[in-house]
């Protein structure tokens, strides 16, 4: 099962196909989804899932995680021993920044969740339906434990894509251009291998090519202070 994975994906920003990279979250979600489909636990099929992908600043397409359709969540809820309870839902019409919120709280299940709608995250004319759908899907994903392996519902995928993109980019290895720039700076300022190794080891790296975006500027600053 490959969930329509490709080696290249179309980029509307660049107007061309670009290479695909795969996040660890996607790998974990895919493994769990395949287990569920093969075991036929909830009656799910490969078509109930689709790939959430985000284009990175490095011009690559990141497979971020797997998205489960709302129909998939309905299938799961139908199979659960402890199902979604409509009576556990409270509607809050004037929430934070005037959001419409469906709040779910059930002590026996140990579940507290919300489904929210605002002018920014809902563009259609059915806000109550969307808020309920988000709340339902999130509760079902928690009841089935799928939320804990990174699988998301399609009702919240769009809102989370930007956040996931930023997190995944932070964990992406720096570009070849940045690697070469660091190597030139080290050579220019005649830094010893021992000093470079020491700074890298502080971030648990053995070589420059392993540096991730989240640590890049800190390492640059450390090198600058010791040049």
Q: Report pLDDT digits (tens) over 8-57.
A: 999 888 889 999 999 999 999 999 999 999 999 899 999 999 999 989 98
Residue 111 CA, chain-centre distance (Å), reads 22
Say if residue 160's pLDDT is above 60. no
Q: Determine the average pLDDT of the residues in 104-130.
A: 89
Is residue 162 pLDDT above 50, yes or no? no
Question: Residue 223: pLDDT above 90?
Answer: no
3-state SS record for the chain:
CCCCCCCEEEECCCCEEEEEEECHHHHHHHHHHHHHHHHCCCCCCHHHEEEEEEECCCCCEEEEEEEECHHHHHHHHHHCCCCCCHHHEEEECCCHHHCEEEEEEECCCCEEEEEEECCCCCCCCCHHHHHHHHHHHHHHHHHCCHHHHCCEEHHHHHHHHHHHHHHHHHCCECCHHHHHHHHHHHHHCCCCHHHHHHHHHHCCCCCHHHCEHHHHHHHHHHHHHCC
On the question of pLDDT at 88 being above 90, the answer is: yes
Q: What is the mean pLDDT of residues 175-200?
A: 88
Q: How confident is the model at residue 84 (pLDDT cuts 50, 70, 90)?
A: very high
Q: Residue 96 pLDDT > 90, yes or no?
A: no
Domain assignments of the chain as residue spans, ordered by start? 8-77+146-170, 81-143, 176-225
Query: What share of the chain has pLDDT > 90, as a percent?
Result: 54
Task: Tell me which of 86-100, 120-134, 149-163, 209-223 is least confident.
Answer: 149-163
Q: Which residue has the higher pLDDT, 83 or 13?
A: 83
């Amino acid at each position: 099962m490959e969930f329509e994975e490709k080696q290249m994906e179309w980029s509307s920003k660049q107007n061309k196909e670009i290479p695909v990279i795969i996040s660890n979250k996607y790998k974990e979600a895919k493994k769990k989804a395949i287990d569920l489909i093969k075991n036929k636990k909830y009656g799910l099929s490969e078509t109930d899932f689709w790939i959430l992908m985000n284009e990175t600043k490095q011009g690559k397409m990141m497979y971020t995680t797997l998205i489960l359709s709302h129909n998939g969540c309905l299938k799961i809820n139908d199979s659960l021993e402890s199902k979604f309870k409509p009576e556990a839902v409270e509607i809050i019409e004037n929430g934070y920044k005037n959001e419409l919120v469906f709040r779910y709280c059930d002590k026996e299940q140990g579940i507290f969740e919300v489904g929210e709608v605002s002018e920014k995250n809902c563009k259609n004319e059915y806000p109550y339906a969307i808020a309920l759908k988000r709340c339902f899907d999130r509760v079902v994903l928690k009841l089935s434990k799928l939320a804990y392996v990174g699988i998301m519902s399609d009702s919240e995928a769009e809102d989370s894509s930007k956040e996931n993109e930023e997190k995944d980019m932070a964990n992406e290895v720096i570009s070849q251009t940045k690697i070469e720039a660091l190597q030139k700076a080290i050579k220019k300022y005649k830094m010893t291998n021992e000093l470079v190794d020491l700074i890298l080891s502080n971030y648990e790296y053995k070589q420059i090519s392993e540096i991730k975006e989240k640590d890049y500027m800190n390492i640059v600053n450390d090198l600058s202070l010791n040049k």
